[in-house]
Amino acid sequence: MSQTAKRFSHFLFPSIISLFVLVLVSACGSTTTTTSATPAAKGNVSVLYAGSLVSIMEHQISPAFDKATGYTFQGEGKGSIALANEITGHLRTPDIFISADPKVNGLLMGAANGNYVSWYLTLARTELVIGYNPNSKFAADFQAAASGSKPWYQVLEEPGVRLGRTDPELDPKGVSTILMFDLAQTYYNQPGLEQKILGADENASQVFPEETLVARLGAGQLDAGIFYLNEAKAAHLPYITLPDQVNQGNPAYASTYATVHWTDPKTKKVHTGAPILYTITIPSTSKNQAGAIAFVKFMLSSQGQSILQTDGVLSTPVKLTGEASVVPQQLQQYIQSS
């Protein structure tokens, strides 16, 4: 080999080695970045949640939770009482249960109820509003009520107004609706207002499944409906706000809300008015404990709370009800000040 060839070989060989090392390092770095940006799949997390959260859970929480944790959200929304009944009836075995009424957890607590739940945390709060169809023939009256120039209950009293609400025997919002009209009777000094507008508690012309009420209003089957604030915002419905003394959304008026009651005609259970709170827990049915813990942490994180608040669910302090000793260690940070 000539001296020139030797010198060229001496120069080329280290260069090739350096290039190979550079490519290898670059490839490794690329793999590391991709892995950290997209967590590996970790299984499904089954979430039973209050039907009033359908839009938020399916369109906002689900993709954000999956992306942030690597778990896969699998949810179902219905009336909270109906969901509790499905758990006790062994029809559902969720990893997570989210209720729109703290008292519904009581249906799952204690030996007599199967010990499905031993603790729960407050997650958020909301309030009742009257959503209406902007294409309704009563739309101008509803707009006047929304602006404060006409009492909202007078619009609902007009002949022909089709009002929708949920079943008080299956959904906490149905109970809160009845209590709302009881509170309004006193607040506006309008005796008999509830009976005049709602009729019977189980008025078949007004009561519909929670998960279908928004769609019925949008389809023009109803002129107005009683919704949570977050439902109206998520569905982009125009709505009428109600005074805090009536809407059951302000904890400062808890004593006022507690002055009204409704008794379930079937179970004889007495429901007392209270602030509307969403709660979250991990039932004993959970098959993916790690995924359930990750979901609770996500919902209580700044990202989860921001999603809820953007869509009209209001923040509230996290408080524990139940046995602190059985709350998973990874969640103890949320109950220290409860």
Share of the chain above pLDDT 90, in %: 78
- Top-confidence residue, 212 or 240: 240
Q: Indicate if 188 and 308 belong to the same structural domain.
A: no
Q: What is the mean pLDDT of residues 206-212?
A: 89
Q: Indicate if 201 and 216 belong to the same structural domain.
A: yes
pLDDT digits 0-9 by tens, 144-180:
999 999 999 999 999 999 999 999 998 899 999 999 9
Q: Is the pTM of this model over 0.75?
A: yes
Instruction: Report how far residue 10's alpha carbon sits from residue 6's, in angstroms, rounded to the nearest whole number.
Output: 6
What DSSP letter does each residue of 77-131 carry, written as one string?
Answer: EE-HHHHHHHHHTTS---SEEEESSGGGGGGGBSGGGTS-BSEEEEEEE--EEEE
Number of domains in the chain: 2
Burial of residue 286 (CB within 10 Å: 0-12, 13-18, 19+) is buried
Q: Indicate if 160 and 106 belong to the same structural domain.
A: no
Would residue 321 count as lying in a domain? Answer: yes
Q: How confident is the model at residue 38 (pLDDT cuts 50, 70, 90)?
A: low
Coil, strand or helix: which one is 312? coil
Would residue 117 count as lying in a domain? Answer: yes
Are 282 and 96 in contact by the 8 Å Cβ rule? The answer is: yes
Q: Give one word for 314, left, alpha or beta, with left for phi > 0 and alpha for psi -120 to 50.
A: beta
Q: Indicate if 82 and 208 belong to the same structural domain.
A: no
Share of the chain above pLDDT 70, in %: 88
Q: What is the structure's pLDDT at 37?
A: 56
Q: How confident is the model at residue 335 (pLDDT cuts 50, 70, 90)?
A: confident
Q: What is the structure's pLDDT at 31?
A: 39
Instruction: Report how far residue 232's alpha carbon sits from residue 218's, in angstroms, rounded to the nearest whole number.
Output: 11
Q: What is the structure's pLDDT at 22?
A: 38
What DSSP letter does each residue of 141-153 carry, written as one string?
Answer: HHHHHHHTSS-HH
Of 70-74, 126-130, 222-226, 230-234, minimum mean pLDDT range: 230-234
Would residue 13 count as lying in a domain? Answer: no
Q: Indicate if 183 and 71 belong to the same structural domain.
A: no
Burial of residue 183 (CB within 10 Å: 0-12, 13-18, 19+) is buried
Would residue 158 count as lying in a domain? Answer: yes
Q: What is the CATH number of the domain that holds 257?
A: 3.40.190.10
Would residue 7 count as lying in a domain? Answer: no
Q: Indicate if 143 and 243 belong to the same structural domain.
A: yes
Is the predicted pLDDT of residue 269 greater than 50, yes or no?
yes
Contacts of residues 196-203 at CB distance under 8 Å and 24 or more positions apart, as own/partner, are 196/157, 197/153, 197/156, 197/157, 197/163, 198/163, 198/165, 201/168, 201/262, 201/265, 202/167, 202/168, 202/169
Question: CA-CA-CA-CA torsion for 315, 319, 324, 328, nearest 10 degrees?
Answer: 0
Would residue 34 count as lying in a domain? Answer: no
Are 214 and 52 in contact by the 8 Å Cβ rule? The answer is: no
Residue count of the chain, please give it. 338
Q: Indicate if 76 and 161 belong to the same structural domain.
A: no
pLDDT digits 0-9 by tens, 53-80:
998 999 999 999 999 999 999 999 998 9
- Tell me which of 252, 272, 292 is where a domain ends: 272
**Phi then psi for 35, rounded to 5 degrees?**
-65, -45
Q: What is the mean pLDDT of residues 180-200?
A: 96
Is the predicted pLDDT of residue 300 greater than 90, yes or no?
yes
Q: Indicate if 136 and 257 belong to the same structural domain.
A: yes
Q: What is the mean pLDDT of residues 296-317?
A: 93
Instruction: Report how far residue 101's alpha carbon sits from residue 264's, in angstroms, rounded to the nearest whole number.
Output: 15
Of 205-209, 211-215, 250-254, minimum mean pLDDT range: 211-215
Q: Indicate if 140 and 112 belong to the same structural domain.
A: no
Q: Indicate if 165 and 236 belong to the same structural domain.
A: yes
Q: What is the structure's pLDDT at 170?
A: 87
Neighbours of 88 (CB within 10 A): 14
- Tell me which of 257, 272, 287 is where a domain ends: 272
pLDDT digits 0-9 by tens, 100-157:
999 999 999 999 999 999 999 999 999 999 999 999 999 999 999 999 999 999 999 9
Q: List strand residue ranges (DSSP E) for the chain, in order.
A: 44-50, 72-78, 96-99, 119-125, 128-132, 163-166, 207-208, 224-228, 239-240, 261-263, 270-272, 277-281, 320-322
Would residue 202 count as lying in a domain? Answer: yes
Q: Indicate if 280 and 201 belong to the same structural domain.
A: no
- Tell me which of 244, 272, 300 is where a domain ends: 272
Q: What is the mean pLDDT of residues 91-100?
A: 96
Q: Indicate if 187 and 265 belong to the same structural domain.
A: yes
Of 19-33, 56-70, 245-259, 312-326, minimum mean pLDDT range: 19-33
Would residue 38 count as lying in a domain? Answer: no
Q: What is the mean pLDDT of residues 181-205?
A: 95
| Residue 312 belongs to domain spanning | 44-125+276-334
Are 166 and 258 in contact by the 8 Å Cβ rule? The answer is: no
